[in-house]
């Protein structure tokens, strides 16, 4: 064991890292007193067989930021069974719990019940402005050693998160090799600069402390409202003819609103062909960027989360019909159900209903992803297409026949899967509740299930008289505890 | 599994051929087997005024009565020049396509020089061979210069996708006789008669080759008797198996194993008038329809679609159905359906296009989509794929007659600042909804004041052109990019 540590130490010396002991001066803070290891254990579901769950466990880093609150990312904290925290890299695990989390901000606060845990620990401070780009280190426990390694800043960018597709500002760093945990702590001059995410693309992405500070100060007020977003589509306006057509003189600037969603989210008064000139006083250039005082040039999407939360008003100056107008845009709350096909199903057991071996589920992205790592190609095209569509008043969500558990009652249907349901027994089905209601009304001893036009089959019929007995038999045969799981 | 065509793209020049002296007429079939060399050029679908590189490919054919050579459509597609050569004859003859059926992958060639047919006896078309019977293929496949023979048995007879067109399935015979690139169009012989035309294989499978059987060949030959090839008509019904007891009971079926269900009907008025969803198909012509949507055809269990393939465009098939638990007989007229032609591979007709101010507009097609690269069907292009392959059946009210894409932009100052760079579905121009290419031309004649406004799907992104600038430079752009004409309609 000792030998191993020595080798590690040598290795990090060669590659530019250093062991913390005695080096806290350089890092401006004794990080061993703030950085902890978090072990999160939970379950994950198999959306092919939504009644199945299996255990999952991940290691994360966290950093003590308030008297009893440890900051980390929200990744891996869904469907949680148990969370434990360790200090000093190798010692006892302490029972902990999640005090608050938000998947769109990708942040969480964890606390430990036992007061003794916090003895000897010292909260760290979050940067209140953009840190020195040339002085960034990742600090992490490697066994009982706290290792610090310099990291190279690449840029600030606004991008979709790992869990949520909400656009947020992110700090991009040259890829940090061999992470020991997800959510590693990036520090600068004695303060927390950012927390890395599990982003799998080029470079490492981290959530900047400036953003975290603002989210936490809102959270501290007690009533977390969630993050908002701009629920409209816009395009850059490179084309000077477009400005001329819209009678906007001067240098090309602003972006053009091209479509606004239907329904309640469009109570905000933006119209197609409005040119967005300013948002909250920040001038918008013709690519859709503004100059952020903390991060430099960023895409305007960030102004929906920059010190703003769902329900807040954003002042948008637009050019409409040849004049400037001010629009008060109330930020709608970003939620996974914003899309026709919800992007995530977290902290709830997946819903399903089995009727004579026909397995129905809400159409969700986790179900489409269950077609494998190549799901964008492997899943039925229509499902992938629907995943990019927006909900409408008539179709806020969809229900899918996800598969069939073969049994004599459903003979002839064994190969059916991934078919989007239109109606059951003549009743339109868009939610699992609709489905539950519809199957209580069979006609002439049959359940008639109609799929959406364009599916490979339009209709199937199942014996409603024999169905209860068959379902019972199927549950037994396939080892399923219940034929239905629908949230109230 | 991927079905592939098996014509032979020659990589090297044909070796000098030393012919033996032709003996006098003989009944040996190989004398009537022809080597075909096609010099072809395909259009570039996203730059439709240009042609791709000249391609040299080889295939086989055989002489049939009427001094014609039968071969595969894919052997002679996009031909600029076709050369044919007889068995052990050094001389090359020029040939041209007299008839071509891209749906059934068959073509007939004519040779202007009457000397070509001297001493050649036409081969006769035989019957559908029996499974397990032996057949011999004749042709000029890769791997050598001389005629090649392979022997095998008829492995199975089924409905199979004809990959040349891609979106049609016809009767097809599988054999274990080796069928290789270059065999395409060559005859498959049994007892001196042609029982098939070799045409495709399946990549990754061994000892499987496919040939076009006599019912399809004869349908093609009968079709052209009036001097025009129409094609195989389509019933326009999706037939689903009907094996679930509850569904069978609901539809009033009493005899087990018989009857398939009409699941949906394509937007074909003649069919929509006569048939309904959930009609049960009991019999087509003389074939009893099984509950797995199959019929017994010459001793082979094949998909019921084969029963509809015997008639010509405009003729009717007799069908017996069960509707509302009552048997009915009706005569269903069938017509060639080509509304979905852009969703299949297209041949020999150059793509339509219109160019305005460097913006290249062309109909959305499978051929165009392939220009987007191997991943053309990826999520990024989902909107185009949906429009091309799904919208017509799924959402007919919103389907456009001929969806138009901005395929490309010919760079020029006037369009240099466009955010849309092509690959975009055109929604409207100057407020006019674009249903076909002609609408594009008309719409540009009606500008929105001083401007042309072009909107794209799915999110209504918009581009704008100043009319005076566009009119001033539109011809100059064509000249700069070497485009001979602003349109092909």
The predicted structure's pLDDT at residue B4: 58
Q: Answer whether residue A224 shows pLDDT above 80.
A: yes
Give Cα separations from B373 to A182, B366, B368, B380, B385 (angstroms).
Answer: 36, 12, 10, 12, 13
Q: Note the pLDDT tens digit of each residue in A62-93.
A: 999 998 999 999 999 999 999 999 998 877 99
Length of chain B: 489
Tell me if chain A has a CB within 8 Å of the CB of B245: yes
Query: Over the range B443-453, which residues count as b (16 or more CB within 10 Å of their CB) and which as e?
Result: bbeebeeebbb
B382 → closest Cβ in A242, A273, A388: A388
Tell me if chain A has a CB within 8 Å of the CB of B264: yes
* 3-state per-residue secondary structure call for A197-251: CCCCCCCEEEEEHHHHHHHHHHHHCCCCCCCECCCCEEECCCCHHHHHHCCCCCC
Contact A411 B419 (CB under 8 A): no
The predicted structure's pLDDT at residue B477: 96
B263 → closest Cβ in A235, A258, A459: A459
Q: Is B74 a catalytic residue?
A: yes
Identify the residue with better confidence: B266 or B353.
B353
Q: Note the pLDDT tens digit of each residue in B461-477.
A: 999 999 999 999 999 99
Distance CA A269, CA A327 (A): 7
Distance CA A213, CA A193 (A): 10
Active-site annotation holder among B40, B57, B60, B74: B74
Collect all residues of chain A within an 8 Å Cβ-Cβ radius of residue B241: 412
Q: Note the pLDDT tens digit of each residue in A387-426.
A: 988 888 899 999 999 999 999 999 999 999 999 999 999 9
Distance CA A232, CA A343 (A): 18
Q: Which residues pair with B410 in a beta bridge?
A: none
Q: Note the pLDDT tens digit of each residue in B65-90.
A: 999 999 999 999 999 999 999 998 98
Distance CA A227, CA A103 (A): 10
The predicted structure's pLDDT at residue B24: 34
Distance CA B463, CA A22 (A): 62
Distance CA B454, CA A67 (A): 59
Distance CA B321, CA B242 (A): 13
DSSP label at residue B344: S
Contact B419 A237 (CB under 8 A): yes
Q: What is the mean pLDDT of residues A36-45?
A: 96
The predicted structure's pLDDT at residue A62: 97
User: By CA distance, what is A465's nearest residue in B?
Assistant: B246
The predicted structure's pLDDT at residue B397: 85
Interface test with A, best of B246, B265, B470 (most A CBs within 10 A): B246
Token pair of B361 as six digits: 């507009």
Q: Which of A416, A417, A426, A483 is nearest to A449 (CA)?
A: A426
User: By CA distance, what is A382's nearest residue in B?
Assistant: B386
Q: Is B105 a catalytic residue?
A: yes
Helices (H), B235-364: 245-250, 269-274
Cβ proximity of B380 and B424 under 8 Å: no
Distance CA A404, CA B131 (A): 35
Q: Is B313 a catalytic residue?
A: no
Length of chain A: 488
The predicted structure's pLDDT at residue B21: 31
Collect all residues of chain B within an 8 Å Cβ-Cβ radius of residue A454: 390, 393-395
The string of DSSP codes covering B249-277 is HHTT--STTB-EEEEEE-S-HHHHHH--T
Of the listed ranges B116-120, B344-348, B395-399, the one predicted with least confidence? B395-399
Cβ proximity of A179 and A198 under 8 Å: no
CA distance to partner chain A, nearest, from residue B292 (Å): 9
B451 → closest Cβ in A245, A412, A458: A245
Give pTM, 2 decimals: 0.89
Q: Note the pLDDT tens digit of each residue in A251-298.
A: 889 999 999 877 656 666 899 999 999 999 999 999 999 999 999 999
The predicted structure's pLDDT at residue B160: 96
Q: Answer whether residue B166 shows pLDDT above 50.
A: yes
Q: Which of B108, B110, B140 is nearest to B34 (CA)?
A: B140
Collect all residues of chain A within an 8 Å Cβ-Cβ radius of residue B418: 238-239
The predicted structure's pLDDT at residue B188: 97
Distance CA B415, CA B20 (A): 64
Q: What is the mean pLDDT of residues A303-327?
A: 95
User: By CA distance, what is B454's nearest residue in A?
Assistant: A242
Interface test with B, best of A165, A242, A357 (most B CBs within 10 A): A242
Q: Note the pLDDT tens digit of each residue in B324-349.
A: 999 999 999 999 999 899 999 999 99
The string of DSSP codes covering B33-82 is EEEEEEEE-PBPTTSTTSB---EEEEEEEEEETTTEEEE-HHHHTTEEEE
DSSP label at residue B26: -
Contact A412 B394 (CB under 8 A): no
Token pair of A461 as six digits: 């019929």
Q: Which residues pair with A44 in a beta bridge?
A: A54
B264 → closest Cβ in A245, A376, A458: A458
Cβ proximity of A17 and A147 under 8 Å: yes
The predicted structure's pLDDT at residue A22: 47
Q: Which of A64, A63, A46 is nearest to A55 (CA)?
A: A46
Contact A238 B393 (CB under 8 A): no
| B81: number of Cβ within 10 Å | 14
Of the listed ranges A155-164, B85-94, B385-394, the one predicted with least confidence? B385-394
Q: Note the pLDDT tens digit of each residue in A421-444.
A: 999 999 999 999 999 999 999 999
Phi/psi at B100 (5° precision): -140, 135
Q: What is the mean pLDDT of residues B347-355?
A: 96
Of the listed ranges A276-280, B213-217, B329-333, B391-395, the one predicted with least confidence? B391-395
Q: What is the mean pLDDT of residues A233-238?
A: 92
Distance CA A85, CA A72 (A): 12
Distance CA A342, CA A230 (A): 18
The predicted structure's pLDDT at residue A266: 60
């Amino acid at each position: 064991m000792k030998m191993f540590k020595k080798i590690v130490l040598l290795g990090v010396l060669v590659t530019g890292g250093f062991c913390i002991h005695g080096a806290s001066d350089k890092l401006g803070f004794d990080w061993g007193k703030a950085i902890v290891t978090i072990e999160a254990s939970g379950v994950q579901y198999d959306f092919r067989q939504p009644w199945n769950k299996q255990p999952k466990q991940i290691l994360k880093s966290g950093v003590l930021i308030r008297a009893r609150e440890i900051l980390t990312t929200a990744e891996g904290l869904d469907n949680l069974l148990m969370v434990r925290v360790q200090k000093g890299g190798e010692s006892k695990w302490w029972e902990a719990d999640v005090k608050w989390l938000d998947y769109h901000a990708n942040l969480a606060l964890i606390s430990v019940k036992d007061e003794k845990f916090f003895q000897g620990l010292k909260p760290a401070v979050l940067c209140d402005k953009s840190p020195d780009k040339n002085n960034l280190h990742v600090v992490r426990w490697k066994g009982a050693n706290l290792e610090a390694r310099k990291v190279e800043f690449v840029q600030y960018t606004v991008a979709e998160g790992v869990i949520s597709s909400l656009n947020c500002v992110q700090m991009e760093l040259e890829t940090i090799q061999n992470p020991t945990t997800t959510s590693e702590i990036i520090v600068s001059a004695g303060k927390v600069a950012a927390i890395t995410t599990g982003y799998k693309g080029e470079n490492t992405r981290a959530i900047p402390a400036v953003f975290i500070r603002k989210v936490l100060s809102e959270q501290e007020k007690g009533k977390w409202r969630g993050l908002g977003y701009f629920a409209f589509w816009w395009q850059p306006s490179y084309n000077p003819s477009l400005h001329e057509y819209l009678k906007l003189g001067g240098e090309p600037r602003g972006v053009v609103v091209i479509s606004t969603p239907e329904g309640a989210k469009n109570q905000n008064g933006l119209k197609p062909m409005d040119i967005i000139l300013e948002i909250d006083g920040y001038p918008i250039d013709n690519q859709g960027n503004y100059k952020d005082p903390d991060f430099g040039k960023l895409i305007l999407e960030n102004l929906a989360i920059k010190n703003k939360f769902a329900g807040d008003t954003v002042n948008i100056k637009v050019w409409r019909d040849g004049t400037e107008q001010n629009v008060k845009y109330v930020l709608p709350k970003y939620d996974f159900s914003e899309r026709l096909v919800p992007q995530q199903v977290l902290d709830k057991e997946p819903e399903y209903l089995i009727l004579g071996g026909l397995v129905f589920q809400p159409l969700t992205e986790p179900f489409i992803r269950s077609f494998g790592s190549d799901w964008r190609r492997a899943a039925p095209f229509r499902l992938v297409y629907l995943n990019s569509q927006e909900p409408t008043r008539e179709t806020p969500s969809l229900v899918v026949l996800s598969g069939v558990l073969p049994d004599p009652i459903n003979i002839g249907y064994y190969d059916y899967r991934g078919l989007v349901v239109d109606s059951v027994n003549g009743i339109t089905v868009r939610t699992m509740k609709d489905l539950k209601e519809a199957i209580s009304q069979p006609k002439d001893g049959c359940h008639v299930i109609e799929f959406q036009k364009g599916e490979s089959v339009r209709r199937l019929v199942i014996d409603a008289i024999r169905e209860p007995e068959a379902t019972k038999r199927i549950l037994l045969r396939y080892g399923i505890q219940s034929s239905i799981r629908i949230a109230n | 599994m991927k079905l592939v065509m098996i014509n032979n793209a020659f990589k090297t020049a044909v070796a000098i051929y030393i012919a033996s002296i032709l003996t006098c007429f003989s009944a040996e079939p190989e004398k009537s087997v022809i080597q075909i060399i096609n010099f072809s050029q395909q259009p570039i679908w996203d730059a439709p005024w240009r042609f791709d590189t000249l391609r040299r490919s080889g295939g086989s054919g055989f002489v049939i009565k009427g001094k014609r050579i039968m071969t595969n459509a894919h052997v002679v597609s996009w031909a600029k020049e076709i050369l044919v050569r007889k068995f052990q004859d050094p001389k090359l003859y020029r040939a041209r396509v007299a008839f071509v059926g891209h749906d059934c992958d068959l073509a007939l060639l004519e040779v202007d020089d009457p000397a070509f047919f001297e001493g050649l006896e036409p081969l006769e078309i035989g019957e559908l061979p029996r499974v397990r019977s032996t057949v011999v293929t004749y042709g000029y496949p890769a791997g050598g210069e001389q005629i090649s023979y392979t022997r095998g048995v008829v492995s199975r007879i089924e409905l199979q996708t004809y990959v040349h067109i891609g979106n049609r399935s016809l009767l097809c015979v599988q054999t274990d006789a080796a069928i290789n690139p270059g065999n395409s169009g060559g005859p498959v012989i049994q007892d001196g008669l042609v029982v098939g035309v070799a045409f495709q294989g399946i990549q990754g499978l061994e000892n499987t080759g496919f040939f076009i059987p006599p019912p399809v060949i004869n349908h093609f030959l009968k079709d052209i008797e009036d001097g025009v090839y129409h094609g195989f008509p389509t019933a326009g019904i999706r037939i689903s198996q009907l094996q679930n007891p509850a569904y069978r009971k609901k539809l009033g079926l009493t005899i087990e194993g018989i009857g398939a269900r009409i699941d949906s009907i394509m937007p074909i008025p003649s069919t929509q008038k006569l048939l309904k969803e959930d009609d049960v198909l009991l019999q087509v012509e003389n074939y009893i329809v099984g509950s797995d949507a199959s019929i017994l055809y010459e001793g082979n269990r094949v998909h019921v679609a084969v029963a509809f393939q015997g008639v010509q465009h405009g003729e009717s098939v007799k069908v017996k159905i069960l509707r509302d638990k009552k048997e009915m007989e009706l005569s269903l007229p069938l017509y060639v359906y080509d509304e979905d032609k852009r969703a299949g591979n297209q041949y020999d007709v150059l793509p339509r296009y219109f160019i305005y101010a460097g913006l290249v507009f062309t109909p959305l097609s499978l051929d165009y989509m392939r220009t987007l690269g191997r991943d053309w069907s990826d999520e990024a292009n989902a909107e185009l794929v949906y429009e091309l392959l799904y919208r017509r059946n799924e959402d007919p009210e919103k389907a456009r007659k001929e969806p138009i894409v901005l395929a490309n932009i010919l760079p020029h100052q006037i369009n240099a600042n466009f955010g849309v760079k092509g690959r975009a579905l055109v929604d409207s121009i100057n407020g006019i909804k674009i249903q076909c290419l002609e609408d594009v031309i008309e719409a540009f004649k009606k500008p929105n004041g001083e401007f042309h406004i072009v909107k794209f799907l799915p999110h209504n992104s918009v581009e704008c052109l100043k009319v005076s600038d566009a009119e001033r430079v539109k011809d100059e752009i064509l000249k700069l990019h070497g485009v001979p004409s602003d349109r092909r309609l």
